[in-house]
């Protein structure tokens, strides 16, 4: 049955019927319904599906486990449980995730209740996990995308369209493929037209356009998502990706406050440890507060992050690294501390950050924060030591992680620029900062964009503000105008550009045309 023909009575209300573990919300998870062969567990399945669409993976898996316990022969429930272990838009499944997924798949093969459509879904998730090895994940993602394309051709209903769209977003090369972005957006728009409150359609639209140059297209969905599933922390947080990218600080802060509070509430309700709170959301909240000028609130939340960071690092060192990486948000906690440092030049929190549990962009941030803290203390030796670590990190990752490699290259040039300026060599310092801004301008054509919130200080902004200090107002205006195209509405760049324009007028110098960066 095509979803657009569902009788309205079958579109479940926000209150989904059926038992579930007490810590899974009974309401506020979204309007979701997918008809399945196991009628007796339909309501439980729909609840798990709603949670899956909002990436609340552990809660969703618990509900699918409950569904399986009620009807062990329901194959589509095993599909749902296995799907919670993939995280297509986050990090790849861990070894324990892959092992658990294969166990669900093995049990699902023995299940006897399924339709043709459900068996095709099950075949797709079998392809997605394959032999359960870490190697070959990209190839399996592509194969899974092709399976879902076939499924959508056979069953062009809304749920299949949603999972097909998500497979497109999760397969390699999505960011660099405008045709795929456009097609994915069209699939999601069609579902949204049929089911305006479906959390999956809204959620995946935000992710579809969570790309440089496309964020404006996600704005309507960003303003709808939280209301579609108000009990789910990620549904409250995800809109802020769009709001931050567009410089809408107040909207971002409002939704992230609700998201972090919901995260804390869910952790308390489930009697989980404090380190299970959503520190990714906290990082976004600290950054947004700093942009809106609420430094006091940002400092409070940064202290929360530091307290948790110090506890987590001690726990991290007591278990195997992969298990620790699976358990703790060390990188997000570290980002709370380094971002506060870069935005305020107060390194009292960031000096606690070590390299434990960090990789890629997080290592770049840690090294640059260490270098700038040392520079503030006039410790040139420590600055050079941090720079040397950064070079080593970039050498180690090579071309395997382009985003991280480019951010490390920018960080290295920013350190060199700041060090040269501090040493009195302003000409060399500006040259280094120009190099950093040039590399930053390559992020957009590479399909990366300047991350919001920041990992490292934006290079165009750093260069523009230094040009302003050098009284090179015309150049500062051009560079800061370019900075605001990359990172809209950042107050430092806004204020700096205003001063540059004022300086040009006072000296009767022409500020010139604003620099335009290529964007889609």
Is there a contact between 172 and 138 (Cβ–Cβ < 8 Å)? yes
Same domain, residue pair 115 and 179 = yes
**4 has pLDDT over 60:** no
Tell me which of 189, 224, 259 is where a domain ends: 224
Q: How confident is the model at residue 508 (pLDDT cuts 50, 70, 90)?
A: low
Residue 314 φ then ψ, to 5°: -65, -40
Residues 419 and 510 in one domain: no
Q: 């060090």: which residue's tokens?
A: 419
Q: Do 62 and 136 have their domain in common?
A: yes
Residues 475 and 400 in one domain: no
In-domain check, residue 382: yes
Judge whether 230 lies within some domain: no
Distance CA 215, CA 209 (A): 5
Across the range 408-417, mean pLDDT stands at 97
Please tell me whether residues 208 and 87 are part of one structural domain: yes
pLDDT greater at residue 519 or residue 22 = 22
How far is residue 2's CA from residue 219's CA, in Å, rounded to a whole number? 28
Based on the fold, state whether residues 192 and 92 are members of the same structural domain. yes
Q: Is 124 found in the same domain as 210?
A: yes
Final residue before a domain boundary, out of 189, 205, 224: 224
Tell me: do 174 and 44 sit in the same domain. yes
pLDDT value of residue 176: 86
Closest C-alpha to 432, from 451, 413, 456: 413
Task: Express each pLDDT in 94-104 by its tens digit.
Answer: 999 999 999 99
Task: Please give the structure tokens belonging to residue 279.
Answer: 């520190």
pLDDT band at 342 (very low <50, low <70, confident <90, very high): very high
Tell me, yes or no, whether 130 lies in a domain: yes
pLDDT, one tens digit per residue, over 41-88 is: 999 999 999 999 999 999 999 999 999 999 999 999 999 999 999 999
Assigned domain for 244 exists = no
HEC string of 493-519?
HHHHHHHHHHHHHHHCCCCCCCCCCCC
Answer yes or no: do 516 and 386 share one domain.
Answer: no
Mean pLDDT of 447-468: 92
| Domain CATH code at residue 4 | 1.25.40
Does residue 439 sit in the same domain as residue 497?
no
CB 361 within 8 A of CB 368: no
pLDDT at 455: 95
| Domains identified in the chain, total number | 3
pLDDT of 503 reads 83
Tokens encoding 464: 């523009």
Same domain, residue pair 401 and 513: no
Domain boundary among the residues 437, 457, 477 is at 457
Is the model's pLDDT at 16 over the cut of 70? no
Provide the H-helix boundaries in 270-294. 279-292
Residue 21, pLDDT above cutoff 50: no
Does residue 301 lie within any of the structural domains? no
Residue matched to tokens 């449980």: 81
Expressed as residue numbers, the domain containing 210 is 1-224
Separation of first and last alpha carbons in the chain: 38
Partners of residue 74 on adjacent β-strands: 113
440 and 477, same structural domain?
no
In terms of phi and psi (left: phi > 0; alpha: psi -120 to 50; beta: otherwise), the region of 483 is alpha
Cross-strand pairs, 113: 74
Domain assignment present for residue 335? The answer is no
380 within a domain of the structure (yes/no): yes
Residue 428 resides in a domain? yes
Cβ pair 426, 470 in contact under 8 A? yes
Question: In this predicted structure, what is the pLDDT of residue 25?
Answer: 80
Output the pTM of the full model.
Answer: 0.90
Contact assessment for residue 165 and residue 208, using Cβ atoms and an 8 Å cutoff = yes
- The size of the chain, in residues, is 520
């Amino acid at each position: 049955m095509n979803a657009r023909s569902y009788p309205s009575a079958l579109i479940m209300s926000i209150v989904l019927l059926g038992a579930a573990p007490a810590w899974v919300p009974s309401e506020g998870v979204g309007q979701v319904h997918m008809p399945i062969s196991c009628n007796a567990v339909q309501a439980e399945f729909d609840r798990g599906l709603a949670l899956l669409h909002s990436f609340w993976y552990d809660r969703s898996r618990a509900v699918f486990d409950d569904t399986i316990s009620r009807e062990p022969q329901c194959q589509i429930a095993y599909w749902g449980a296995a799907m919670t272990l993939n995280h297509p838009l986050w990090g790849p499944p861990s070894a324990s995730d892959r092992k658990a997924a294969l166990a669900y798949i093995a049990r699902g093969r023995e299940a006897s209740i399924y339709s043709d459509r459900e068996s095709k879904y099950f075949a797709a998730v079998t392809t997605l996990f394959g032999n359960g090895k870490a190697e070959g994940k990209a190839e399996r993602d592509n194969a899974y995308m092709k399976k879902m394309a076939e499924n959508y051709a056979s069953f062009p209903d809304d749920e299949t369209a949603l999972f097909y769209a998500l497979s497109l977003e999760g397969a390699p090369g999505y960011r660099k493929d405008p045709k795929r972005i456009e097609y994915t957006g069209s699939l999601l728009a069609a579902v949204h037209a049929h089911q305006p409150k479906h959390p999956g359609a809204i959620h995946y639209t935000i992710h579809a356009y969570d790309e440089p140059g496309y964020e404006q297209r996600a704005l309507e969905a960003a303003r709808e998502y939280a209301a579609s599933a108000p009990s789910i922390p990620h549904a409250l947080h995800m809109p802020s990706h769009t709001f931050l990218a567009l410089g809408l600080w107040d909207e971002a802060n409002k939704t992230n406050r609700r998201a972090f509070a919901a995260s804390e509430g869910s952790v308390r309700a489930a009697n989980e440890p404090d380190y299970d709170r959503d520190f990714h959301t906290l990082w976004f909240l600290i950054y947004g507060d700093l942009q809106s000028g609420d430094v006091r609130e940002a400092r409070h939340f940064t202290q929360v992050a530091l307290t948790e960071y110090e506890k987590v690092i001690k726990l991290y060192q007591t278990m195997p690294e992969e298990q620790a990486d699976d358990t703790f948000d060390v990188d997000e906690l570290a980002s709370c501390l380094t971002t506060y440092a870069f935005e305020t030049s107060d390194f009292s929190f960031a000096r606690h950050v070590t390299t434990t549990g960090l990789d890629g962009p997080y290592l770049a941030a840690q090294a640059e924060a260490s270098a700038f803290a040392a520079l503030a203390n006039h410790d040139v030796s420590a600055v050079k030591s941090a720079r040397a670590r950064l070079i080593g990190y970039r050498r180690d990752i090579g071309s395997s992680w382009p985003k991280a490699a480019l951010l490390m290259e920018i960080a290295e040039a920013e350190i060199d620029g700041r060090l040269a300026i501090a040493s009195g060599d302003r000409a060399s310092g500006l040259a280094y900062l120009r190099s950093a801004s040039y590399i930053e301008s390559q992020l957009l054509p590479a399909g990366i964009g300047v991350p919001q919130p920041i990992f490292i200080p934006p290079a165009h902004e750093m260069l523009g503000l230094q040009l302003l200090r050098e009284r090179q107002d015309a150049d500062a205006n051009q560079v800061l105008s370019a900075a605001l195209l990359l990172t809209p509405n950042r107050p430092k760049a806004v204020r700096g550009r205003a001063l540059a324009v004022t300086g040009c007028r006072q000296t009767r110098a022409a500020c010139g045309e604003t620099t335009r960066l290529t964007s889609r």
